[in-house]
Structure 1
Amino acid sequence: MRIHHVAIICSDYEKSKHFYVDILGFPIIEETYRKERQSYKLDLQVGESDCAERSAKGDRIELFSFPNPPQRSSTPEACGLRHLAFEVNDIHASVEQLQAKGIEVEEIRVDEITGKKYTFFKDPDNLPLELYQK
């Protein structure tokens, strides 16, 4: 029917929480500390949704922290999940907003199949993230 969520495990919870909430602007649905696992779980709303229905509708990111998570290759061409892409209305404005917050963004490219503009940047753990113009 749709993708329910994307789970991301981070190495520094506070740094990643700041990145996804304060820099990218994703609203918090719920934040939970699981003492038995020494782990945080932060549910973030992606895209537009009625605030009253955030827990039931819309796409979400689940941001997890665990003690000493194993490293994973994070280049876009590595085997496995390639990257996470966010659709934006104005890629130039989105790039400018990220750069104004100190985020390094690659040059904007054009998808040879769709003719749409896109670019990549990275989260605090070097996870490749993409902006894709609507």
Structure 2
Amino acid sequence: MRLATIHHIALICSDYERSKRFYTEILGFRPIREQYRAERRSYKLDLEADGGIQLELFSFENPPKRPSYPEACGLRHLALAVDNLDEAIAYLRQHGIDPEPVRVDEATGKRFTFFQDPDELPIELYEN
């Protein structure tokens, strides 16, 4: 099997409207399609960002909390590439988000930082 690319990343949120605003208004993802699935009492929102990055945002009633931060088994964090880390950090701060101190990847020499989505999912910004 030869994989071409990652098609999408799926996230479950605790507050659909809050997460929808975060991913669209702050991170700049564009809605592709949104549907309410009445039988599940659940929303599904397909989002896209530049570079073909796609996220699926799901809402479910009372989803379980993440067991630990950030070392739970499973998805550790979502990493997004930016061209200018300093500009991205300034933008996040303008929107009330205070990222962690900038670190340097020992293997590549590239700078990166972390912040959290509304459900405390760790998100990494990695400078190209």
Q: TM-score normalized by structure 1?
A: 0.89
In structure 1, what is the Cα distance between the partners aligned to 2:65 and 2:71? Answer: 16
Q: How does 1:4-83 map to 2 (within 5 A)?
A: 4-48=7-51, 58-83=52-77
How many pairs are equivalent? 125
Amino acid at match of 1:11: S
Unmatched 5+ stretches in structure 1: 49-57
Amino acid at match of 1:17: K
In structure 2, what is the Cα distance between the partners aligned to 1:74 and 1:12? Answer: 19
Judged with a 3 Å threshold, the aligned counterparts in structure 2 of structure 1 residues 123 and 74 are, in CA distance, closer, same or farther, namely farther
Q: TM-score normalized by structure 2?
A: 0.93
RMSD, aligned α-carbons: 1.0
In structure 2, what is the Cα distance between the partners aligned to 1:97 and 1:81? Answer: 26
Unmatched 5+ stretches in structure 2: none
Q: Please state whether the residue corresponding to 1:120 is helix, strand or coil.
A: strand
Q: How does 1:96-107 map to 2 (within 5 A)?
A: 96-107=90-101
Q: Please state whether the residue corresponding to 2:61 is helix, strand or coil.
A: coil
Q: How does 1:112-131 map to 2 (within 5 A)?
A: 112-131=106-125
The superposition leaves residues 32-65 of structure 1 with CA deviations (integer Å, 9 ceiling, x where unpaired) of 11111100001110223xxxxxxxxx22000000
Q: Structure 1 residue 80: deviation in Å?
A: 1.8
Q: How does 1:88-103 map to 2 (within 5 A)?
A: 88-103=82-97
In structure 1, what is the Cα distance between the partners aligned to 2:16 and 2:77? Answer: 20
Q: Which stretch shows the higher mean deviation, 121-130 or 79-88?
A: 79-88
In structure 2, what is the Cα distance between the partners aligned to 1:77 and 1:90? Answer: 28
Q: Structure 1 residue 77: deviation in Å?
A: 2.6
